[in-house]
């Protein structure tokens, strides 16, 4: 994952969600310590008896949820998107887990992808493109 990774859950698999969170997407192991931008996009179907379906990202080393996405609207396909920035140590990796509220076995995931891209520091990226950086501030206004 020195530059990025992509993992796709192919259409037509329909993994059934249970009340216990299950990992459905993982990134490659990080080759370098750094900040990584994570982006997940998937479709879910929430069954009327389930009450909701949700996903979250976490580091494999901790399993602690970071950002959540999901819905409690029943019926029809719905989009889940998660965007996050995580510091990932070399050897560790990010993962996305999903579950349903009641676990009745009728809610499912349909298609989806997870992308992880090394960005190092989002603070550096912001300041590098800032047209009002310090050097521009030294000139008096006209």
Question: Phi then psi for 113, rounded to 5 degrees?
Answer: -150, 150
Question: Given this model, what pLDDT does residue 16 score?
Answer: 87
Question: Given this model, what pLDDT does residue 105 score?
Answer: 74
Band the pLDDT of 106: cuts 50, 70, 90.
confident
Summarize the confidence of residues 108-127 as an average pLDDT: 76
Instruction: Locate the domains of the chain by residue range.
Output: 4-120
Asked whether residue 124 carries a pLDDT value surpassing 90, the answer given is no
**Tokens 């530059």 label which residue?**
3
The secondary structure of residue 43, as a DSSP letter, is E
**Exposure of 116 by Cβ count < 10 A (0-12 exposed, 13-18 middle, 19+ buried)?**
buried
Of 2-6, 41-45, 84-88, 114-118, give the lowest mean pLDDT range. 2-6
Distance, CA of 4 to chain centre: 13
Listing DSSP states for 79-129 in one string gives EEEEEEEEEE-TT--EEEEEEESS--S--EEEEEEEEEEEEE-HHHHHHHT
Choose between 121 and 69: higher pLDDT: 69
Q: C-alpha angle 121/69/9, rounded to 5°?
A: 85
Tokens of 78: 């719905």
**118/2 Cα distance (integer angstroms):** 6
Residue 59, SS3 per DSSP: strand
Summarize the confidence of residues 100-110 as an average pLDDT: 86
Q: Which residues contact 87 (CB under 8 A, 6 or more apart)?
A: 33, 34, 35, 36
- Is CATH 3.30.540.10 the right assignment for the domain spanning 4-120? no
Question: Given this model, what pLDDT does residue 103 score?
Answer: 83
* pLDDT tens-place string over residues 9-67: 655 667 889 999 999 899 999 988 999 999 999 999 999 888 899 999 999 999 999 99
* pLDDT tens-place string over residues 76-95: 889 999 999 999 999 999 99
Question: Given this model, what pLDDT does residue 84 score?
Answer: 96
């Amino acid at each position: 994952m020195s530059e990025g990774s992509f993992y796709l859950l192919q259409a037509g698999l329909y993994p059934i969600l249970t009340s216990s969170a299950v990992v459905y997407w993982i990134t490659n192991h990080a080759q370098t310590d750094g900040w990584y931008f994570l982006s997940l996009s998937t479709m879910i179907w929430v069954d009327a008896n389930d009450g909701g379906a949700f996903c979250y990202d976490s580091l494999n080393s901790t399993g602690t949820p970071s950002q959540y996405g999901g819905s409690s609207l029943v019926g029809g396909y719905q989009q889940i998107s998660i965007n996050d920035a995580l510091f990932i140590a070399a050897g560790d990796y990010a993962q996305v887990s999903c579950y349903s509220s009641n676990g009745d076995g009728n809610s499912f995931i349909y298609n989806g992808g997870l992308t992880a891209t090394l960005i190092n520091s989002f603070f550096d990226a912001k300041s590098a493109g800032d047209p009002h950086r310090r050097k521009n501030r030294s000139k008096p206004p006209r």
